[in-house]
Structure 1
Amino acid sequence: MPRPKNPKVPQTWDSKSADDAVAALKLATAQVGITLPSLSRDFSSLTNPLVELGRARPDVVKSLADCLVELVELRGIVESMNEEAKKETVSADG
Protein backbone atom coordinates (compact mmCIF):
# COMPACT_ATOMS: atom_id res chain seq x y z
CA MET A 1 0.00 0.00 0.00
CA PRO A 2 1.50 3.38 -0.96
CA ARG A 3 2.27 5.78 1.84
CA PRO A 4 0.05 8.87 1.96
CA LYS A 5 1.73 12.12 1.02
CA ASN A 6 2.60 14.27 4.01
CA PRO A 7 1.44 17.87 3.93
CA LYS A 8 4.03 20.58 4.47
CA VAL A 9 4.78 20.88 8.14
CA PRO A 10 4.55 24.49 9.36
CA GLN A 11 7.57 25.92 11.14
CA THR A 12 5.41 27.59 13.78
CA TRP A 13 1.84 27.33 14.92
CA ASP A 14 -0.26 28.89 17.62
CA SER A 15 -2.64 27.75 20.33
CA LYS A 16 -5.63 28.30 18.04
CA SER A 17 -4.13 25.83 15.57
CA ALA A 18 -3.72 23.28 18.35
CA ASP A 19 -7.28 23.91 19.61
CA ASP A 20 -8.65 23.60 16.07
CA ALA A 21 -6.75 20.33 15.57
CA VAL A 22 -8.15 18.92 18.82
CA ALA A 23 -11.69 19.91 17.84
CA ALA A 24 -11.29 18.42 14.36
CA LEU A 25 -9.99 15.11 15.67
CA LYS A 26 -12.70 14.92 18.34
CA LEU A 27 -15.36 15.48 15.70
CA ALA A 28 -13.82 12.99 13.26
CA THR A 29 -13.38 10.24 15.82
CA ALA A 30 -16.88 10.80 17.21
CA GLN A 31 -18.31 10.27 13.73
CA VAL A 32 -16.88 6.75 13.70
CA GLY A 33 -17.76 6.02 17.33
CA ILE A 34 -14.27 6.47 18.77
CA THR A 35 -13.59 8.54 21.88
CA LEU A 36 -10.10 9.56 22.94
CA PRO A 37 -10.73 10.83 26.49
CA SER A 38 -7.26 12.32 26.93
CA LEU A 39 -7.32 14.26 23.66
CA SER A 40 -6.50 17.88 24.49
CA ARG A 41 -4.06 20.70 23.89
CA ASP A 42 -0.74 20.26 25.67
CA PHE A 43 -0.33 23.41 27.74
CA SER A 44 3.31 22.72 28.68
CA SER A 45 4.63 24.66 25.69
CA LEU A 46 3.68 28.30 25.26
CA THR A 47 5.24 28.51 21.82
CA ASN A 48 4.19 25.92 19.26
CA PRO A 49 1.69 24.14 21.54
CA LEU A 50 1.23 20.46 20.83
CA VAL A 51 -1.79 18.18 20.92
CA GLU A 52 -1.89 15.57 23.66
CA LEU A 53 -3.32 12.39 22.18
CA GLY A 54 -3.18 10.67 25.54
CA ARG A 55 -3.49 7.04 26.38
CA ALA A 56 -6.08 4.68 24.97
CA ARG A 57 -7.10 1.04 25.22
CA PRO A 58 -5.64 -1.17 22.50
CA ASP A 59 -9.08 -1.81 20.97
CA VAL A 60 -9.67 1.93 20.57
CA VAL A 61 -6.28 2.43 18.92
CA LYS A 62 -6.95 -0.55 16.63
CA SER A 63 -10.35 0.93 15.67
CA LEU A 64 -8.71 4.24 14.83
CA ALA A 65 -6.05 2.48 12.76
CA ASP A 66 -8.73 0.45 10.94
CA CYS A 67 -10.61 3.66 10.09
CA LEU A 68 -7.47 5.25 8.69
CA VAL A 69 -6.66 2.18 6.59
CA GLU A 70 -10.22 2.12 5.26
CA LEU A 71 -9.96 5.80 4.38
CA VAL A 72 -6.73 5.24 2.46
CA GLU A 73 -8.31 2.32 0.60
CA LEU A 74 -11.42 4.35 -0.24
CA ARG A 75 -9.28 7.24 -1.42
CA GLY A 76 -7.48 4.86 -3.78
CA ILE A 77 -10.78 3.56 -5.13
CA VAL A 78 -12.08 7.09 -5.71
CA GLU A 79 -8.86 8.15 -7.43
CA SER A 80 -9.01 5.08 -9.65
CA MET A 81 -12.64 5.78 -10.54
CA ASN A 82 -11.78 9.40 -11.36
CA GLU A 83 -8.96 8.28 -13.65
CA GLU A 84 -11.31 5.86 -15.45
CA ALA A 85 -13.92 8.60 -15.85
CA LYS A 86 -11.30 10.93 -17.35
CA LYS A 87 -10.24 8.22 -19.83
CA GLU A 88 -13.85 7.60 -20.82
CA THR A 89 -14.43 11.33 -21.32
CA VAL A 90 -11.33 11.68 -23.48
CA SER A 91 -12.24 8.64 -25.61
CA ALA A 92 -15.83 9.86 -26.00
CA ASP A 93 -14.59 13.30 -27.12
CA GLY A 94 -12.04 11.87 -29.53
Structure 2
Amino acid sequence: MAASAGTEAPAASIEAGKKLFNTKGCMACHQLDTRLIGPSLKEIAKAYNGDKKGLTEYLKGNAESKVDPAQKALMEPQLAITKAMQVKDLEAVVDYILSNK
Protein backbone atom coordinates (compact mmCIF):
# COMPACT_ATOMS: atom_id res chain seq x y z
CA MET A 1 0.00 0.00 0.00
CA ALA A 2 1.27 3.47 -0.80
CA ALA A 3 2.28 5.85 1.95
CA SER A 4 0.20 8.95 2.49
CA ALA A 5 1.56 12.46 2.90
CA GLY A 6 3.51 12.78 6.11
CA THR A 7 4.53 9.12 6.32
CA GLU A 8 7.59 7.37 4.98
CA ALA A 9 7.19 5.15 1.94
CA PRO A 10 8.24 1.51 2.28
CA ALA A 11 11.89 0.89 1.45
CA ALA A 12 10.93 -1.70 -1.18
CA SER A 13 8.79 0.85 -3.03
CA ILE A 14 11.57 3.44 -2.93
CA GLU A 15 14.09 0.93 -4.27
CA ALA A 16 11.71 -0.18 -7.04
CA GLY A 17 11.10 3.47 -7.92
CA LYS A 18 14.83 4.16 -8.07
CA LYS A 19 15.31 1.26 -10.48
CA LEU A 20 12.47 2.48 -12.71
CA PHE A 21 13.76 6.07 -12.56
CA ASN A 22 17.18 4.89 -13.74
CA THR A 23 15.92 2.51 -16.45
CA LYS A 24 13.26 4.81 -17.94
CA GLY A 25 15.77 7.54 -18.80
CA CYS A 26 14.81 10.04 -16.10
CA MET A 27 18.45 10.40 -15.02
CA ALA A 28 19.28 11.98 -18.37
CA CYS A 29 17.62 15.19 -17.17
CA HIS A 30 17.27 14.81 -13.38
CA GLN A 31 20.17 14.20 -10.96
CA LEU A 32 20.06 13.93 -7.18
CA ASP A 33 21.66 17.27 -6.26
CA THR A 34 22.36 18.99 -9.56
CA ARG A 35 20.01 20.76 -11.96
CA LEU A 36 20.72 19.53 -15.48
CA ILE A 37 18.03 19.95 -18.09
CA GLY A 38 15.39 19.48 -15.40
CA PRO A 39 15.33 20.17 -11.68
CA SER A 40 17.25 17.96 -9.26
CA LEU A 41 15.44 15.28 -7.29
CA LYS A 42 16.02 17.31 -4.14
CA GLU A 43 14.35 20.36 -5.75
CA ILE A 44 11.36 18.25 -6.77
CA ALA A 45 11.05 16.61 -3.34
CA LYS A 46 11.25 20.00 -1.64
CA ALA A 47 8.63 21.57 -3.91
CA TYR A 48 6.17 18.70 -3.43
CA ASN A 49 6.95 18.34 0.30
CA GLY A 50 5.44 14.87 0.64
CA ASP A 51 2.49 15.58 -1.70
CA LYS A 52 2.30 12.17 -3.37
CA LYS A 53 -1.05 12.90 -4.95
CA GLY A 54 0.16 16.18 -6.46
CA LEU A 55 3.30 14.67 -7.97
CA THR A 56 1.41 11.61 -9.20
CA GLU A 57 -1.21 13.78 -10.89
CA TYR A 58 1.53 15.83 -12.56
CA LEU A 59 3.25 12.68 -13.85
CA LYS A 60 -0.12 11.47 -15.19
CA GLY A 61 -0.44 14.77 -17.07
CA ASN A 62 -3.38 15.95 -14.96
CA ALA A 63 -1.75 18.85 -13.07
CA GLU A 64 0.79 21.62 -13.49
CA SER A 65 4.30 21.23 -12.11
CA LYS A 66 5.03 22.79 -8.72
CA VAL A 67 8.74 22.97 -9.53
CA ASP A 68 9.39 24.75 -12.81
CA PRO A 69 6.21 25.35 -14.83
CA ALA A 70 8.16 27.43 -17.38
CA GLN A 71 9.96 24.24 -18.48
CA LYS A 72 6.71 22.40 -19.26
CA ALA A 73 7.55 21.97 -22.95
CA LEU A 74 10.76 20.08 -22.11
CA MET A 75 9.00 17.60 -19.82
CA GLU A 76 5.85 17.14 -21.90
CA PRO A 77 7.25 14.40 -24.21
CA GLN A 78 8.58 12.50 -21.18
CA LEU A 79 5.15 12.39 -19.57
CA ALA A 80 4.19 9.76 -22.15
CA ILE A 81 6.46 7.38 -20.24
CA THR A 82 4.94 8.07 -16.83
CA LYS A 83 1.38 8.15 -18.18
CA ALA A 84 1.89 4.63 -19.57
CA MET A 85 3.21 3.20 -16.28
CA GLN A 86 1.18 0.81 -14.17
CA VAL A 87 -0.18 2.47 -11.02
CA LYS A 88 2.17 0.61 -8.65
CA ASP A 89 5.19 1.50 -10.79
CA LEU A 90 4.25 5.18 -10.92
CA GLU A 91 3.67 5.17 -7.15
CA ALA A 92 7.13 3.65 -6.68
CA VAL A 93 8.74 6.36 -8.83
CA VAL A 94 6.90 9.02 -6.82
CA ASP A 95 8.03 7.38 -3.56
CA TYR A 96 11.62 7.43 -4.80
CA ILE A 97 11.50 11.06 -5.92
CA LEU A 98 9.92 12.23 -2.66
CA SER A 99 12.44 10.25 -0.58
CA ASN A 100 15.21 12.59 -1.77
CA LYS A 101 14.62 15.33 0.79
Larger strand fraction of residues: 1
Q: What is the TM-score when the length of structure 1 is the normalising length?
A: 0.32
Q: What is the TM-score when the length of structure 2 is the normalising length?
A: 0.31
